[in-house]
Structure 1
């Protein structure tokens, strides 16, 4: 089993990222450049001057989970990782992704995302992965497949709690970020996932561990998903933002880490759709620009204006005309704003 190599090269910080360096210092990552061992006769006033640079070893971050951590749903399988690394760098923090798997278009593609793995399967191999990769930070998004397999919310939460304890035992000083999982399009899974997510803050709170943080990823769903369970690129950008927002608070990072996708009014999304070709149902991917628009709809029998994502499609429209005293029905192509249609649904 091949594990991602640790990069020990140090990056020199300028004034613009000093806040990030101080944040990393909280977990003992930075090192003074060219520092000499302290001796009993050393002058306590002697040390690096304000103009001397500081160097540090990039923090080792392990994304741990199933195919959502792997990045399924996007062609390059970058998932949230590339976007998260970019946001952290903007905030002044350099990281090194670690793990036995390697996917994605970036220069740092290591991770521990395993397609189809439930929590039991992750736990069975986690000790080896953690021992080899030695992460300083673990990003844990797990439980989607356990819920899919019908394990149930409470039983899945108990398994997650045990996995968190396992990570803590293997890496006593690591920071652990535990996700409330993304939403499935399968109705029963979505309901069970919601119940599971509601249990996570409580089980984490009982551990009374200041280095364990809950990260809410449950807002990623609907047309943020490429298929029934896996986010598309826009959905993964939301995940990256959510991880970053939590990490920025813990490590006191400066800046917002880039644009907030939750404030976007336009997005490009690729969605798996169901089509019928010669009477056979087939799956295809439809990539379109979506706009957040104000539409009128009925809510509880009352017409109200709401904000909804729509895309502009060319559709056939029927109309009637009189020709020679007879009414005929004809069709024409028109542009029309529509919501999601033909999506894969469970």
Structure 2
């Protein structure tokens, strides 16, 4: 679903002489395609995505098109729900099975916002191997779009029953993500680490030690909002048109 921008004015350089510039934001700027990529935390119902979409709308960042082969569940209001949040999927499997390229080929996103690794932690896959999978996924993203803007989440805390090591390994993965991202980020295709771990309490903000509840959805929407807003503006800067109006030059005292 596409939405028309209703952007705010940006600063423009003033004209010189008898003409001065007035800033005006061009309507109909580039629609930015955004792919939420992840597992069941991202997928249905994935109501943090609904809250995030609403925050963007409220901030008048409306030139967005969320893309993916899946649609989110009922979150209480209509929103752009398309995503690639596949329940049970691991980063390592998505990379090994080359599942991402067809999704990218169909959607052609400008931005990928990725919250992956939770199921890898659950299945006792080492952070080292998960990070290797991340590198493969980044390579696949850039093959589809050399200018891909990539947002990678430090995953939310885990404390599920039946997985005594999950909490510790999730922290280890997040530490590895913070070290890995700068080594893969480029000026053409930047990678931004999004901290969705700090301030999130697995006991209070999830319904089962993993999946976010109402409070958790709000925190996830908040953690994504600023990085995604910046990424959207990076892909499609607000357009500024210089309009001029005549101004009567001031006479110097010596001319009177």
TM-score (norm 2): 0.75
Deviation at 1:127, TM superposition (A): 0.1
Larger Rg: 1
181 and 12 in structure 1: CA distance in 2 versus 1, 3 angstrom threshold: closer
Instruction: Provide the alpha-carbon RMSD of the alignment.
Output: 2.3
Please state how far the C-alpha of 1:80 moved relative to its aligned partner: 1.5
Match of 1:63 in 2: 36
**Aligned equivalent of 2:195:** 216
CA separation of 1:51/1:175 partners in 2, compared to 1, >3 Å: closer, same or farther?
A: closer
Pairing partner for 2:146 from 158, 167, 172: 172
Separation in structure 1 between the aligned mates of residue 170 and residue 92 of structure 2, nearest angstrom = 17
Cα distance in 1 for partners of 2:220, 2:149 equals 18
Structure with the larger RCO, 1 or 2 (CA within 8 Å, 6+ apart): 2
Which whole-Å CA distance do the structure 1 matches of 2:72 and 2:185 have between them? 35
Structure that is richer in helix per residue:
2
Hey, what does 1:11 align to over in structure 2?
Answer: 4
Unmatched segments (≥5 aa) in structure 1: 1-5, 23-48, 72-76, 254-346
> Structure 2 vs 1, CA of residues 246 and 53 (structure 1 numbering), >3 Å: closer, same or farther?
closer
In the alignment, what sits opposite 2:173?
196
Q: How has the CA–CA distance of structure 1 residues 70 and 51 changed in structure 2, closer, same or farther, with 3 Å as cutoff?
A: closer
Normalising by structure 1, report the TM-score. Answer: 0.56
Partner residue in 2 for 1:103: 72
- Number of equivalenced pairs: 211
Deviation, 1:67, is 0.4
Is contact 1:64-1:141 (8 Å) kept? yes
The answer to whether the 8 A contact 1:11-1:57 is kept is no
* Uncovered stretches (5+) of structure 2, i.e. residues with no partner: 12-21, 235-256
Structure 1 residue 153: Cα displacement: 1.8
1:264-275 aligned within 5 A: none
Task: Decide which moves more: 190-199 or 150-159.
Answer: 150-159
The answer to whether the Cα contact below 8 Å between 2:52 and 2:225 also exists between their aligned partners in 1 is yes
Aligned to 1:79: 47
